Amino acid sequence: MTRGQTAPRSGHAVSGNPISRAQRCALCALAILTLLLAGGCKTMQHTTTSQPPLPVTLYPVGRFLFPVPQGLEFQGRSIKINHMTIEETDWGRGDRAKQFRDMWEPVRDEGRKHYDVYKNTPVVRGGFVQEDVSEHFGHPAVLLCYSAQNGAHWIDTFVAMPDWILRIKEEAVYEIGKECLGDLKGTTLDFFRHYHTDRSDHPADLFWTGRGWVQGLKTRDEDVRASAILPAKETTPQISLRLRAYMIATPDEPAKSITSIRKILDGNNIDLKLLRSRQRPFEGMPGLEEVYILSAYECGEYRSTLYAQWAIEVEAKNPQRPAIYLEMSCNAAAQDEALRIWDAAIDNFTSIQAWNAKMKGGR
């Protein structure tokens, strides 16, 4: 067997009947989700490799720097703030006016197509509006309002910034059956008033959107995601690294060890090998780091997957202390390389505020 795998075991599910592949996958997913529940953990010996640490590239994502170890490819980020999705697209070579139209016109055409289909429906008429809102942004800008779900509408604003195209997409609640008004939401303008593009004298409490950054905006919701992969090769499987950080409105409970559902895993013939389980704080916030392998038969083949997660406890309604999850997964055959990547990631993960303090010689 491959190093890091456990011996297969026979048996049946708790119910007495063999479980399907889909059910087995669901249980594996449950194992990951259960880490978010309450509970403690048992400290284990640190398991790692003897190879030198990997260098990393840091990518700003919201209030954090996402470390991408050497060899991995950054896949991008997802940014939401105050329930607005923020996208920034670099200009290409050539006609910028055409590039700008190519960005928003397909969205307009799809929204208009939907409206034309349902405009005579008495209950959910949706709506459609296109407005030039350049005067509000100081740059060429277009607002689109079109139908979302359950009677809501998208307020979708495109701004031709000097160095990229900014898109601010917000869902607005409308009375069912009411047409789009084309009104520019105050939240969109409030975001833009706090949006900066300069690359010098960055404050410590900023929120990075990717190309630009925000400071001083009162936030009730922040949700950022980022990912990187080590592409699969002929002899090695793909390794995926992910970051999630988001605010919550009410207090949550500490993360719980994967061992808390060992009986469920055993009852469904899913073998658990715990490689690492330890308390690992992050800038004053408690956290739990675990690395483990789940193994099971799928279609007659015994397969093992390595999972790693660092779950950092959250403080409700505090944008500086959101729920944070740094995660990795891959085929267990890549255990040694995966652990090296994982150690590089968790050792270099930091907040922008802490990074600024370090660069300025702070403590």
Residue ranges of domains in the chain: 21-80+222-359, 83-205
Are 146 and 126 in contact, with CB atoms under 8 Å apart?
yes
Q: Binning pLDDT at 50, 70 and 90, where does residue 199 land?
A: confident
Give the global pTM. 0.81
Mean per-residue pLDDT over the chain, rounded? 84
Tell me the DSSP string of 2-16: -TT---------TTS
* pLDDT tens digit sequence for 126-170: 678 899 999 999 999 999 998 876 667 889 999 999 999 999 999
Q: Which long-range contacts (CB under 8 A, 24 or more apart) does 152-156 make?
A: 153/126, 153/127, 153/180, 154/111, 155/183, 155/184, 155/185, 155/188, 156/104, 156/107
Q: What are the residues whose beta carbons fall under 8 Å from the beta carbon of 352, sequence distance 6 or more?
A: 60, 63, 64, 65, 204, 206, 208
Predicted local confidence at residue 49, as pLDDT: 55
Phi/psi for 55 (5° steps) reads -70, 155
Per-residue pLDDT tens for 85-117? 999 999 999 999 999 999 999 999 998 887 787
**Structural class in CATH, domain 21-80+222-359:** alpha beta
